[in-house]
Amino acid sequence: MIIIIGILADQKIEQTHMKRPLVEPLDRTSTKEASDMASFYEETLGFTPNSLFTMMHRPRIANAFVEMNQAVMENQGRVTSALKRLIAYLASMTAGCRYCEAHAIRAAERYGSEEDKMAHIWDYKTYPAFSDAERAAFDLAIAASSIPNAVDDDIADNMRKHWDKGEIVEIMGVIALFGYLNRWNDSMGTHLEEPAAEDGNKFLGSHGWSRGKHVYPK
């Protein structure tokens, strides 16, 4: 519980602001490749993320990210799509990336996360809607996303108690994928899209979330 309280307190710390993103996103209609990628994300998020079109300045990086994203988020069984998005949210909250927090919580709703769980994710250690297996995964997400890394024998033993090797790899895949996204979007100062901002305010605003650096004057 100490870790969670510390993270929530960090939400209230004033974030760095930027006058403009480090790199502006590529126009999504500029190439057929960019247009095809835009169509794919229209289905998954309901909009096309600016982060992807920053990567599209080097298409191979963008394509490699999409492939990794699809592999990590593929539903193999018990590690459900909804659970993966809640893990992504906690990892991003720990890293302090407001952009990824909003994306993850929006995706959690779109992929079937229960409203009760979304409303009490900060109390996962004690709230009865969460299973011990989910708590183990959330503990790992926070510890693995902390700097310095806080994964220890207790967290590892608890993960092995509730999840098999393949499932642990899936869960770590989500945490590591969002580690990349957290670094990318906070360093780029990626402008947060309006649909994600709306969900960030809706689900996270009462817990101190704001756009932070991810908004620019029009």
**3-class secondary structure per residue, 72-123:** HHCCCCCCCHHHHHHHHHHHHHHHCCHHHHHHHHHHHHHCCCCHHHHHCHHH
CB 91 within 8 A of CB 103: no
- Model pTM above 0.85: yes
Among residues 91, 184, 185, the alpha carbon closest in space to that of 137 is found at 91
| Top CATH class, 78-207 | mainly alpha
Residue by residue, pLDDT tens for the chain (218 residues) are: 334 434 443 444 456 789 999 999 988 777 878 777 777 777 777 888 999 999 999 999 999 999 999 999 999 899 999 999 999 999 999 999 999 999 999 999 999 999 999 999 999 999 999 999 999 999 999 999 999 999 999 999 999 999 999 999 999 999 999 999 999 999 999 999 999 999 999 999 999 999 999 999 87
Q: Which two tokens stand for residue 52?
A: 């992807």
The pLDDT value recorded for residue 15 is 63
Domain spans in the chain, listed from the N-terminal domain onward? 78-207
Rounded Cα distance between 218 and 200, Å, is: 20
The pLDDT value recorded for residue 11 is 47
Prior bond of 148 cis (ω within 30°): yes
